[in-house]
Structure 1
Amino acid sequence: MTTPVRVTAAVSKVLAAFLADPTADRYGLDLMRATGHPSGTLYPILLRLQDAGWVEAVWEELDPVAAGRPPRRYYRLTPDGLISARTEIAALRQQLDRAYGTAPKPRTA
């Protein structure tokens, strides 16, 4: 059973970072730079997204001595997470458009 996700502004920034390249594996520092969140904000969000089944995480297989750094934990949206993230971000945009009276601008080719 998955845990529901409350999509706050902080969570939406993390989801937007994942949606920038949904197939990319992202690690903590990379996501901190993309979102501007400190580790104390980012990692609890990632844990909630994992508990909800939106994000999966795997440890990098790496020899820390040879690489000169510890292994990274990589995060990626799951297929359900991709759908949920897109849905939630779209809903948030609609709410903001209604709240501020703005309409999406048409795309030009």
Structure 2
Amino acid sequence: MHWILLILSGSLEAVWAHALSDILDPVNAITFLLGLAGSVWGLQRAMKKIPLGTAYAIWVGVGATVTAVWSAIEGEPFGPAKILCIGLILVGVIGLELSRSHAPHEDPASEA
């Protein structure tokens, strides 16, 4: 469940990033605020079970990938170099998951 939430909250980065491009429009301003709040909330919830470094890197990687693909769909130039780099981000995200320890994540604050 935490992984699904992390991927969804990373994807919300693309929503608020695109709304940011025209933030003076009231609809975009509201979309930005809701997307940002949902994205950060999802990251915070996922970090209860996924270590900070792994969760944050995956959140950013997913957000960057979805934003780049969305921009390409909207007509931004998207050549082979960008495709390769997005692929490398995805490989890094998968590598982070495969290389992490599967020991339960403990919150240092809960030990007090």
Q: After TM superposition, is the score higher than 0.5?
A: no
Structure with greater proportional helix content: 2
Query: Shorter-normalised TM-score: what interval?
Result: 0.3 to 0.5
- TM-score, reference length from structure 2: 0.34
Structure with greater proportional strand content: 1
